[in-house]
């Protein structure tokens, strides 16, 4: 056995022992159905358990109605699950079920179908079967009754459980009739589609249709599923996977499908499929993750990461980035993940065993990480987390996440400045980033005033939107669209020029209140390198407003990142602006001059936890962490133990003897000397 394999075997043994205890981070591991090969699939799951400690195997059954009679497929698939259960008897692996489809993810493609009413979507397309059809309702009952009778340890539905496919539903005859009877209208189908599309939240046509959508999901689908399971065994736990469209009802559905007394389980829509350029996509995905975590904080719901590897091979996603996604969710406060990778067989044999290898090597680290973040407070530049959905429209704007924050997704996550999300507007221990007009539009005047009673870093588009709403008193800056002639942005604090291309962006003029502090100016120079500088307008302004809040408002905006962000001066300016707002509590930023995503948490004993991902193909040899002198540093090893890290000082940075490979994460604990 070579040394690498010996190391993996040793780590696997340790994690398997650790998994005997309660898991702090649980994997809901999906196994493909393979009819006629159930014993082999079961053997793969046992091997998986022995190597990683994963004891929950969700047999994937794609059970939306297909063919006629539709129950024929159900009988065959459930029989396969029963064979899988039998093959696992006497082992430590607990068979469970992922109902990978019940309504169906896509429009129907089969030729011979049941005579049930079909859904009609917002564009008039005939798509799936309508859950209000009694025949389809009886089919749903049958599916979940048969599954429940097989004694699964858990039942998870997938994200086809939504009133979308992928347009809003349902405008079938039954739904049109129901709508007309409730509203006293006599709309045809096409008139109803036009009425819903053309109406706004709060208007009767819109509200009536939205209520029907919600009732369909809560009662005709999720409530019906729970009832069918309860009729067989009310103790069988169940959870849902939520889709991108219906966040407003996500927690209600998770509670509805849970067994009595069970902690509701909700897999969030945080998947990153077919990834290519990690620096472009991972940060935005991470911010979405933080939004879910913040939204569900304190709700009592167990939230799961969507760490799927679809289509389950290394072309889609590397094993190390799969693991990094899991670690990111554990650091964000998730309870676990639905993992969808092939550790069973998939027709031509096992695919991508690397996913199993990485878990065998580092499974215990996920539990340790989930334990470590409990009771800690997340700090960092915070994206506002919106717990309501104003502006959400079931037809025209049905993708609205809990956070938007393009500046966090695109800028600070590359600069190694800790990011987070918060719904505690006005909390003076948090520095918020307000970076888009759309975020301003999602908030009422009262919410904005609350936000601005705390600390806010305001970026150009948000500043313009606030000015248009006559709220520039909050920022001390009037931001008006106007073409300006200037050469560069001059950092007044550091006395350096920051890269800027005026041709791309000289379209807004700031006018600052008297007494506001100018941290940078737009300046005109006769030529590059000239010492002659004529101030054109303020570019970054610090202001303490009448509410007692502090803000830094800047011309900088998120669309500039490609050419203008990649400079040491800009990274330094970002950090300086945040330091100015956060006062003495300086964030633990990463000093390596390449793309690094960082998040930070603070524990009640004064120790800090830092999670970082190297998003740059240049491996980091020594991690540079901005930390006060006198701290000692540890890192989380693959087996979940903390290991001391040697360090030396370089100015404000601790230079840690800690390498980070491309797309891998590192967790650092920084503890102050007693």
Helix (H, G, I), strand (E, B) or coil at 162: coil
Of the pair 192, 536, the CB lying nearest Zn ion is at: 192
Of 170 and 590, nearer to Zn ion (C-beta) is 170
Instruction: Convert residues 83-122 into a mask of x (bound to Zn ion by CB under 5 A) and - (unbound).
Output: ----------------------------------------
Q: How far is the CB of 238 from Zn ion (least distance, A)?
A: 24
Report the candidate in 65, 157, 61, 147 with the shortest Cα–Cα distance to residue 106.
Answer: 65
Name the one range near Zn ion by CB under 5 A: 171-179, 230-238, 409-417, 655-663: 171-179
Exposure on the CB side of residue 415, measured as CA atoms within 13 A: 28
Given the rule CB under 5 A, which of 123-131, 135-143, 255-263, 536-544 is the region that contacts Zn ion?
Answer: 123-131
Is the Cα torsion angle 584, 585, 587, 588 positive or negative in sign? Answer: positive
187-190 contacts, C-beta under 8 A, 24 or more apart: 189/120, 189/124, 190/124
Q: Are strands 336-339 and 302-306 parallel, antiparallel or unpaired?
A: parallel
Stretch that binds Zn ion, among 73-81, 155-163, 175-183, 621-629 (CB under 5 A): 175-183
Examine residue 127 and tell whether it contacts Zn ion (CB under 5 A): no
CB of 129 to Zn ion, least distance (A): 9
Tell me how far, at minimum, the Cβ of 135 lies from Zn ion, in Å: 13
> Would you count residue 78 as binding Zn ion (CB under 5 A)?
no
SS3 462: helix
- In this complex, which beta carbon is closest to Zn ion, that of residue 117 or of residue 505? 117
How many whole angstroms separate alpha carbon 489 and alpha carbon 556?
Answer: 10
Beta strand pairing call for 517-524 and 488-491: antiparallel
Residue 125 or residue 450: which is nearer to Zn ion going by CB? 125
Give the residue with the Cβ less far from Zn ion, 130 or 596: 130
Query: Which ranges of 452-490 would DSSP assign to H, the alpha helix?
Result: 460-468
CB of 169 to Zn ion, least distance (A): 7
Among 97, 93, 26, which residue's Cα sits nearest to residue 58?
97
User: Segment contacting Zn ion (CB under 5 A): 8-16, 172-180, 199-207, 422-430?
Assistant: 172-180
Using the contact rule CB under 5 A, the part of the chain among 66-74, 162-170, 287-295, 579-587 near Zn ion is: 162-170
Nearest to Zn ion of 175, 256 (CB atom): 175
Q: How far apart are CA 228 and CA 259, in angstroms?
A: 12
The CB-of-410 to Zn ion minimum distance in angstroms stands at 40
Question: Quick check: 130 binds Zn ion (CB under 5 A)?
Answer: yes
Nearer residue to Zn ion within complex by CB, 70 or 130: 130
Q: In whole angstroms, how close is the CB of 198 to Zn ion at the nearest point? A: 20
556 within 8 A of 478, measured Cβ to Cβ: no
Q: Does 170 bind Zn ion (CB under 5 A)?
A: yes
Q: State which residue, 172 or 250, has the beta carbon closest to Zn ion.
A: 172
Q: Which stretch binds Zn ion (CB under 5 A): 107-115, 124-132, 255-263, 544-552?
A: 124-132
Residues in binding contact with Zn ion, number by CB under 5 A: 4
Nearer to Zn ion, 78 or 172 (CB): 172
Q: At what angle do helices 71-87 and 134-149 cross, to 10 degrees?
A: 10
Enclosing H/E stretch for 574: helix 568-582
**Given 61, 74, 147, 172, the residue binding Zn ion (CB under 5 A):** 172
**CB 173 → Zn ion: shortest distance, Å?**
8
The answer to whether residues 238 and 155 touch, using CB atoms and an 8 Å cutoff, is: yes
Tell me how far, at minimum, the Cβ of 141 lies from Zn ion, in Å: 18
Minimum distance of Zn ion from residue 254's CB (angstroms): 24
Stretch that binds Zn ion, among 78-86, 128-136, 196-204, 242-250 (CB under 5 A): 128-136
Min CB(665)–Zn ion separation in Å? 45
For the CB of residue 119, give the shortest distance to Zn ion in the complex, in Å: 5
- In the three-class reduction of DSSP (H, G, I as helix; E, B as strand; rest coil), residue 636 is classed as strand
Among 26, 175, 624, 669, binds Zn ion (CB under 5 A): 175
Q: Is 382 in contact with 581 (CB distance < 8 Å)?
A: no
Which CB sits closer to Zn ion, 189 or 468? 189
Q: In this chain, which stretch among 121-129, 164-172, 304-312, 574-582 interacts with Zn ion, using CB under 5 A?
A: 164-172
∠ CA 259-261-267, rounded to 5°: 55
CB of 171 to Zn ion, least distance (A): 7
Q: Which run of H or E residues covers position 19?
A: helix 3-19
Q: Given the complex with Zn ion, which of 207 and 517 has the nearer CB atom?
A: 207
| 179/392 with CB nearer Zn ion | 179
Q: How near is the Cβ of 193 to Zn ion at its closest, in Å? A: 13
Cβ closest to Zn ion, residue 245 vs residue 367: 245
Query: What SS3 state is found at 9?
Result: helix
Give the separation between CA 478 and CA 512, rounded to whole angstroms: 6
Q: Is the peptide bond before 434 cis (omega within 30 degrees of 0)?
A: no
Compute the least distance from the CB of residue 221 to Zn ion, in Å: 12
Among the residue ranges 63-71, 72-80, 166-174, 270-278, the one whose residues contact Zn ion (CB under 5 A): 166-174
Query: Which of these, 309, 391, 393, 386, lies nearest to 352 by C-alpha position?
Result: 309
Q: Supply the DSSP string of 375-421, one letter for each residue.
A: T-EEESEEEEPPSS-TT-BTTTB----S---HHIIIIITTBT--EEE
Element (DSSP H or E) covering residue 48: helix 38-52
216 versus 337: smaller Cβ distance to Zn ion: 216
Contacts 24+ apart (CB under 8 A), 562-565: 563/499, 563/501, 564/498, 564/499, 564/500, 564/501, 565/411, 565/414, 565/415
Q: Between residues 197 and 494, which has the closer beta carbon with respect to Zn ion?
A: 197
Report the candidate in 554, 501, 506, 510 with the shortest Cα–Cα distance to residue 528.
Answer: 501
Closest contact distance (angstroms) between CB of 393 and Zn ion is 20
Helices (H), 89-169: 134-149
Choose the stretch contacting Zn ion; rule: CB under 5 A; options: 170-178, 197-205, 441-449, 593-601.
170-178
Interface contacts to Zn ion, rule CB under 5 A: 130, 170, 172, 175
């Amino acid at each position: 056995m070579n040394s690498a394999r010996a190391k993996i075997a040793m780590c696997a043994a340790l994690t398997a022992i650790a998994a005997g205890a309660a898991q702090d981070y649980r994997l809901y591991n999906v196994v493909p159905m393979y009819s006629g090969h159930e014993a082999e699939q079961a053997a793969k799951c046992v091997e998986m358990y022995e190597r990683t400690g994963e004891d929950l195997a969700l047999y994937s059954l794609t059970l939306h109605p297909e063919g006629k009679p539709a129950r024929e497929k159900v009988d065959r698939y459930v029989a396969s699950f029963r064979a899988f259960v039998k093959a696992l008897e006497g082992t430590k692996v607990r068979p469970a079920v992922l109902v990978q489809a019940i309504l169906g993810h896509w429009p129907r493609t089969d030729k011979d179908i049941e005579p049930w009413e079909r859904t009609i979507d917002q564009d008039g397309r005939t798509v799936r079967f309508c859950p209000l059809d009694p025949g389809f309702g009886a089919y749903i009952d049958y599916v979940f009754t048969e599954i429940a009778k097989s004694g699964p340890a858990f039942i998870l539905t997938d994200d086809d459980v939504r009133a979308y496919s992928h347009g809003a539903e349902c405008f079938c005859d039954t739904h049109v009739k129901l709508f007309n009877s409730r509203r006293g209208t006599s709309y045809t189908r096409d008139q109803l589609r036009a009425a819903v599309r053309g109406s706004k939240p709060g208007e009767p046509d819109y509200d009536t249709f939205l209520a029907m959508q919600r009732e369909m999901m809560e009662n005709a689908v999720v409530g019906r599923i729970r009832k069918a399971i309860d009729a067989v065994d009310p103790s069988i736990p169940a959870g849902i996977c939520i889709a991108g469209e219906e966040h407003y009802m996500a927690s209600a559905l998770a509670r509805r499908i849970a067994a009595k007394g069970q902690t509701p389980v909700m897999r969030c829509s945080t998947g990153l499929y077919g990834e290519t350029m990690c620096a472009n996509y991972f940060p935005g995905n991470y911010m979405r993750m933080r939004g879910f975590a913040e939204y569900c904080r304190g709700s009592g719901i167990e939230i799961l990461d969507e760490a799927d590897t679809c289509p389950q091979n290394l072309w889609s996603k590397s094993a190390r980035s799969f693991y990094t996604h899991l670690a990111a969710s554990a650091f964000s406060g998730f309870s676990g993940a639905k993992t969808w990778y092939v550790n069973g067989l998939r027709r031509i044999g096992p695919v991508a065993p690397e996913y199993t290898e990485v878990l065998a090597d580092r499974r215990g680290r996920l539990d340790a990480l989930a334990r470590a973040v409990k009771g800690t407070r997340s700090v960092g530049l915070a994206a506002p987390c919106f717990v309501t959905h104003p502006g959400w429209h079931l037809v025209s704007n049905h993708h609205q996440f809990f956070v938007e924050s393009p500046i966090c997704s695109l800028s600070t996550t590359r600069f190694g400045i800790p990011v987070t999300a918060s719904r505690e507007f006005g909390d003076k221990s948090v520095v918020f980033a307000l970076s888009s007009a759309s975020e301003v539009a999602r908030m009422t005047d009262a919410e904005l005033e609350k936000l601005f009673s705390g600390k806010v870093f305001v970026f150009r588009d948000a500043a313009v939107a606030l000015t248009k709403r006559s709220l520039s008193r909050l920022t001390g800056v009037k931001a008006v669209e106007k073409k300006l002639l200037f050469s560069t942005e001059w950092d007044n604090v550091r006395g350096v020029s920051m890269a800027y291309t005026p041709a791309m962006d000289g379209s807004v003029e700031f006018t600052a209140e008297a007494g506001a502090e100018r941290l940078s100016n737009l300046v005109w120079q006769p030529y590059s390198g000239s010492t002659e500088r004529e101030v054109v307008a303020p570019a970054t302004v610090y202001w303490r407003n009448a509410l007692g809040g502090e803000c830094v408002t800047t011309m900088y905006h998120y669309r500039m990142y490609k050419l203008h962000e990649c400079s040491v001066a800009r990274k330094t300016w970002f950090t300086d602006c945040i330091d100015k707002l956060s006062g003495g509590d300086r964030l633990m930023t990463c000093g390596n001059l390449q793309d690094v995503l960082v998040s930070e948490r603070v524990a009640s004993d004064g120790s800090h936890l830092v999670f970082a991902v190297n998003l740059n193909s240049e491996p980091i040899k020594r991690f540079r962490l901005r930390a006060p002198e006198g701290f000692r540093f540890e890192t989380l090893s693959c087996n979940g133990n903390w290991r001391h890290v040697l360090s030396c000082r370089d100015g404000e940075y601790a230079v840690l003897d800690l390498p980070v490979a491309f797309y891998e994460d590192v967790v650092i604990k920084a503890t102050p000397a007693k």
